[in-house]
Amino acid sequence: MVNEFKLKQEICEVGQKLYLKGFVAANDGNISFRMAENLVLCTPTLTSKGSLKPDDICTVDMTGKQIAGRKKRTSEVLLHLEIYKRNPSVKAVVHSHPPYATAFSVAGEQIPTCILPEVEVFLGPIPTARYETPGAQGFADTITPFVNKAKVAVLKNHGTVSWGETLTQAYWWTEILDAYCRILTIAHGLGRVERISEPKVRELIDLKERFGIKDDPRKLENADLCVNTEFGRGFAGPAACGCGGAAGRVEGGAVTAASQQDVERLVQEITDRIVGAMK
């Protein structure tokens, strides 16, 4: 038998985690759990996820009509309901605005894959849904292509949404995604992002199956394993340094000969100018 009060407590606990992690600010974000075929618990509107109480949680039916709760349900519950309708195995949905993952969508940068083993195993594909004004059915419809092909998605210029069989799962996917995007941002700042080869990624997908995780659509559909392979390639050429000559490429922290020649030529030019100015 479903313990409704305990589920509401779990929603409040996830809300606090989101708030403490900085994944939501003020009254951002929303959380839901499908406790029966036609009943969904969800967070209310205009309420901080860091201070939720079980009594704040609303109950809606699968059309979005509120049937219980002292506060008004979130305006974005239709997004959650669309996921439940498209995938009956999903029991929990978390929508928030994790900074690093959201920054990728704001920058128009698709989140690259084939980089971290943990992301390949636990998340798999990370699609980006098109932008639509939040709240209405049109916004909810943006997630439909991905519900059965992923477990987390980036919402263009808005945030992220993740789903799973438990509230803990749905929260974990968000946390893993933002930690990954943070690592990508730091690595990109260092100058280069190295990738795992496609054969090694296929090994990871096979490993998932041995773990009992058989929901990776990339193997089922023979889809491309690696996306956004241009991200963080680490080229250093004449356009960047203004020194002319061959492009030169940073390989594993070492500079190729062509790039070294360009650097030496630039250093000599700067030295000549300084000496000339001193004369």
Strands 250-251 and 254-255, sheet pairing: antiparallel
Element housing 53 (H / E): none
Q: Which amino acid is at 141?
A: D
| 96-119 b/e (C-beta count within 10 Å ≥ 16 → b) | bbbbbbbebbeeebbbbbbbbeeb
How crowded is the C-beta side of 135, counted as CA atoms within 13 Å? Answer: 6
**H or E, element range at 30:** strand 30-36
Largest CA distance in the chain: 89
- Whole-angstrom Cα Rg for the chain: 24
Please provide the distance, in angstroms rounded to a whole number, between the alpha carbons at the two ends of the chain: 89
Catalytic sites, residue numbers: 76
With H, G, I as helix, E, B as strand and everything else as coil, classify residue 100.
Answer: helix
Contact at 8 Å (CB) between 75 and 135?
yes
Residue 125's CB is within 10 A of a number of other CB atoms, namely 21
Q: β-strands 30-36, 92-96: how paired?
A: antiparallel
Residue type, 125: P
User: What is the DSSP pairing of strand 58-60 with strand 254-255?
Assistant: unpaired
228, 113 contact by CB (below 8 A): yes
